[in-house]
C-alpha cells in the first residue's frame, strides 16, 4: 500500500519544499510554509475507446453575443462595452477602496434585465442591505446569499441558472473537500478553477473580488491571473479624491483602459470629463508643464512639476513622485550634455499629478521643458501641451497617435502644441504648433 508523502508549501507564492523552513527561499517571506498531505499517486491506466472529438475551424460556429451593459459609463468603458456572458473576471484593490460598493451598483443595473446572484462572504445580509439602501438602489430581482462553500455555490448556480454571479470575495470561498484554510494557495487555485469551469460550461458571467498584498499585487497564486478573462484594479487617486478603475487584462476589450469615479455617500459616481479637473487646478507658473498620456483609448491630461535648486550636498538629490526617477535622470543628463546646463549640481524634485503611471517615452519632451522652466524660473507659454520623445543624441522624435491627443487638446482650449519637427499632424484647429528638431531649439521658449 502506497504511503502518503508530506511536503511543505508556501501560502504566499506556492513554493514547495520537502522540509519545513522558517523563510521561504522563493519569496523570502517568514512563517508561510504549511505542511500538506499529498495523496498517493495512482498508476496510469489506459482508457480504450475514450477519445476526444477534434474540430476544424470551419466546423466551429461563432455568433455575436450581447454584452451585459449598465448605465455606469466608466464601468462599461473599462470592461470593453460590457461584461461578456460566460466570462470570468476579478476586481481587486485595497481594503475599503470601494470594490463592494461598485459591484453593488453594477449588480443593481444588471438585475433590471437579467437574473443576478450575489454571494457575500465578508458581510452579513443585513450589512449588505444597509449598504444597498444607502446607495439608493431598488431591485427586488437581485438575490443575495452569504454561502461560502464552493460546492453549494456551484450546485445552486447549475440548478437556478443565473445570468450573472458575483462573489465577494474569492479569498473567503472554500472547498469542503480541501482541508486547508480559505485564502490559501491550494484553496484559491481549486476555487478559481471550478468557478472558471462553471462560467464556461454553463455560460454564466462570473465576477469575483480579490485582495491585494502589501506590495500592491493581487493576492494568491500567479495562476489566478492566468485563469480569469479580465483583471480590474480599483485604486485611489489622492489629488482629486477619486477612484481609478484600471483594466490590466481583458480578453474581450482594450487593456490599460481606465475609468474615474467620485466616492460619495450615494456610491461611486462616474466622472467622464476628468481632464476638466486638471484644467481647473493648473496654474501658469514656472516648473509646470501639461502633457497628454493615452490610457487605453482615452487621452488624459497630466501635470508635470519640477523644482531645481543648487544642491547643498556632495551628491545631488533626485526625488520623483508618480514617475520613474530614472527617466528624470536620463532627460536631465541629455540636457546637461547638449545645453551645458549643470543639472548634476542641482537637487531635482519632480512630481506627476493624477495618480497615473507613464509607461512610454512620449513624456520626454514635457519632462525636458519642465526642468528647463524650473531652472530658468520662466513659465512655458500659457495653454501649452508638449508631446515628443527625446533621444540620447538630443533629437526630438515623433510619437504615435498624435491626432488623438491634439483633438482632446483642441476640445479643452489649448492653443499651443509643442511636437517634433517631422511629426505628421492631420488635426486642424490648434492656433500655434511649435515644431522643434532638437533640445537646442527648446531654449527659444525661455529668452533671457
Is there a domain that residue 167 lies in? yes
Is there a domain that residue 353 lies in? yes
Is there a domain that residue 119 lies in? yes
Dig out the grid coordinates for 109 from the structure.
Answer: 443595473
Closest CA to 379 of 279, 289, 278: 289
Q: 266 and 281: one domain?
A: no
Give CA–CA dist 430/413, Å, rounded.
9
Q: 212 and 319: one domain?
A: no
Q: 211 and 280: one domain?
A: no
Give the end of a domain, one of 223, 248, 271.
Answer: 271
For residue 356, the tally of other CB atoms under 10 A from its CB is 18
Q: Which domain holds residue 415?
A: 276-445
Q: Is the peptide bond prior to 169 cis by the omega test (within 30 degrees of 0)?
A: yes
Give CA–CA dist 252/68, Å, rounded.
13
Give the end of a domain, one of 215, 241, 271.
Answer: 271
The whole-number pLDDT of residue 1 equals 38
CATH number, domain of 83, equals 3.40.50.300
Is there a domain that residue 123 lies in? yes
Backbone φ and ψ for 373, nearest 5 degrees, come out as -60, -40
3-state secondary structure the chain: CCCCEEEEEECCCCCEECCCCCECCCCCCECCEEEEEECCCCCCCCCCCCCCCCCCHHHCCCCCCCCECCCCHHHHHHHCCCECCCCEEEEEECCCCCHHHHHHHHHHHHCCCCCEEEEECCCCHHHHHHHHHHCCCCCCCEEEECCCEHHHHHHHHHHHCCCEEEEECHHHCECCCCCCCCCCHHHHHHHHHHHHHHHHHHCCEEEEEECECCCCCECCCCHHHHHCCEEEEEEEECCCCEEEEEEEEECCCCCCCEEEEEEECCEEEECCCHHHHHHHHCCCCCCEEEEEEEECCEEEEEEEEEEEEECCCCCCCEEEECCCHHHHHHHHHHHHHHHCCCHHHEEEEEEECCCCCCCCCCCHHHHHHHHHHHHHCCCCCCCEEECCEECCCCEEECCCCHHHHHHHHHHCCCCEEEEECCCCCCCCCCCEEEEECEHHHHHHHCCC
- Rounded to two decimals, what is the model's pTM? 0.77
CATH number, domain of 357, equals 3.30.230.10
Q: 114 and 128: one domain?
A: yes
Is there a domain that residue 54 lies in? no
Is there a domain that residue 57 lies in? no
For the chain, the domain total comes to: 3
Q: Identify the residue whose cell numbers are 460590457.
A: 82
Q: 149 and 261: one domain?
A: yes
Dig out the grid coordinates for 199 from the structure.
Answer: 462560467
Q: 264 and 288: one domain?
A: no
Write out the chain's pLDDT in tens, 448 residues: 344 567 788 877 777 888 888 888 887 888 878 777 665 544 455 556 678 888 888 888 777 788 898 888 899 989 988 999 999 999 998 888 889 899 999 998 898 889 999 999 888 889 888 888 888 766 667 899 999 999 999 999 999 999 999 998 898 888 888 777 787 788 888 899 999 999 999 999 999 998 887 766 777 777 888 899 999 999 887 666 788 898 889 998 888 788 888 888 788 888 887 787 767 666 778 999 988 888 777 888 888 999 999 988 888 889 988 888 899 999 999 999 999 999 989 999 998 876 677 777 888 999 999 999 999 999 998 888 899 999 999 999 999 888 888 888 888 888 888 999 988 888 776 678 889 999 999 998 888 7
Q: 428 and 311: one domain?
A: yes
For residue 22, the tally of other CB atoms under 10 A from its CB is 8
Q: 238 and 384: one domain?
A: no
Q: Residues 272, 277, 281, CA angle at the centre, nearest 5°?
A: 175
Q: 11 and 110: one domain?
A: no
- Angle of helix 364-376 relative to helix 325-339, nearest 10 degrees? 60
Q: 267 and 319: one domain?
A: no
Q: 28 and 147: one domain?
A: no
Give CA–CA dist 384/325, Å, rounded.
24
Is there a domain that residue 56 lies in? no
Is there a domain that residue 60 lies in? no
Rama region for 245: left / alpha / beta (φ>0; ψ in -120 to 50; rest): beta
Q: 196 and 265: one domain?
A: yes
Amino acid at each position: 500500500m502506497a504511503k502518503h508523502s508530506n511536503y511543505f508549501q508556501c501560502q504566499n507564492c506556492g513554493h514547495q519544499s520537502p522540509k519545513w523552513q522558517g523563510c521561504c527561499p522563493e519569496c523570502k517571506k517568514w512563517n508561510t510554509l504549511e505542511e500538506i498531505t499529498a495523496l498517493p499517486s495512482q498508476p496510469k491506466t489506459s482508457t480504450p475507446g475514450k477519445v476526444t472529438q477534434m474540430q476544424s475551424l470551419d466546423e466551429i460556429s461563432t455568433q455575436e453575443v450581447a454584452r451585459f451593459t449598465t448605465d455606469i459609463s466608466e464601468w462599461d468603458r473599462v470592461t470593453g462595452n460590457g461584461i461578456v456572458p460566460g466570462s470570468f473576471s476579478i476586481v481587486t484593490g485595497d481594503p475599503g477602496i470601494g470594490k463592494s460598493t461598485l459591484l453593488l451598483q453594477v449588480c443593481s443595473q444588471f438585475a433590471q434585465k437579467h437574473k443576478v446572484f450575489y454571494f457575500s462572504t465578508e458581510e452579513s445580509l443585513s450589512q449588505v442591505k444597509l449598504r444597498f439602501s444607502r446607495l439608493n438602489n431598488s431591485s427586488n430581482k437581485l438575490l443575495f446569499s452569504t454561502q461560502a462553500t464552493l460546492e453549494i455555490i456551484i450546485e445552486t448556480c447549475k440548478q437556478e441558472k443565473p445570468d450573472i454571479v458575483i462573489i465577494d470575495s474569492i479569498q473567503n470561498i472554500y472547498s469542503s473537500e480541501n482541508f486547508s484554510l480559505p485564502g490559501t494557495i491550494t484553496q484559491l487555485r481549486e476555487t478559481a478553477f471550478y468557478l472558471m469551469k462553471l462560467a464556461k460550461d454553463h455560460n454564466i458571467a462570473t465576477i469575483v473580488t480579490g485582495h491585494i498584498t502589501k506590495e500592491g499585487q493581487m493576492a494568491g497564486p500567479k495562476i489566478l491571473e492566468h485563469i480569469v478573462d479580465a483583471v480590474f484594479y480599483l485604486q485611489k487617486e489622492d489629488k482629486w479624491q477619486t477612484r481609478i478603475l484600471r483594466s490590466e487584462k481583458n480578453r474581450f476589450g482594450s487593456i490599460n483602459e481606465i475609468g474615474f469615479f467620485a466616492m460619495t455617500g450615494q456610491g461611486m459616481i462616474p466622472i467622464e470629463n476628468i481632464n476638466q479637473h486638471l484644467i481647473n487646478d493648473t496654474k501658469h507658473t514656472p516648473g509646470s508643464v501639461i502633457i497628454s498620456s493615452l490610457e487605453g483609448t482615452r487621452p488624459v491630461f497630466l501635470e508635470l512639476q519640477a523644482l531645481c535648486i543648487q544642491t547643498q550636498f556632495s551628491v545631488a538629490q533626485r526625488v520623483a513622485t508618480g514617475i520613474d526617477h530614472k527617466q528624470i535622470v536620463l532627460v536631465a543628463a541629455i540636457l546637461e550634455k547638449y545645453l551645458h546646463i549643470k543639472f548634476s549640481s542641482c537637487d531635482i524634485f519632480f512630481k506627476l499629478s493624477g495618480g497615473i503611471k507613464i509607461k512610454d517615452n512620449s513624456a520626454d519632451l514635457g519632462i525636458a521643458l519642465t526642468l528647463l522652466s524650473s531652472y530658468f524660473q520662466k513659465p512655458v507659454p500659457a495653454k501649452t501641451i508638449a508631446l515628443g520623445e527625446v533621444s540620447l543624441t538630443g533629437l526630438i522624435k515623433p510619437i504615435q497617435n498624435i491626432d488623438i491627443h491634439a483633438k482632446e487638446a483642441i476640445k479643452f482650449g489649448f492653443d499651443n502644441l509643442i511636437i517634433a519637427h517631422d511629426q505628421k499632424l492631420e488635426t486642424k484647429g490648434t492656433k500655434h504648433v511649435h515644431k522643434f528638431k532638437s533640445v537646442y531649439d527648446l531654449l527659444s521658449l525661455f529668452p533671457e
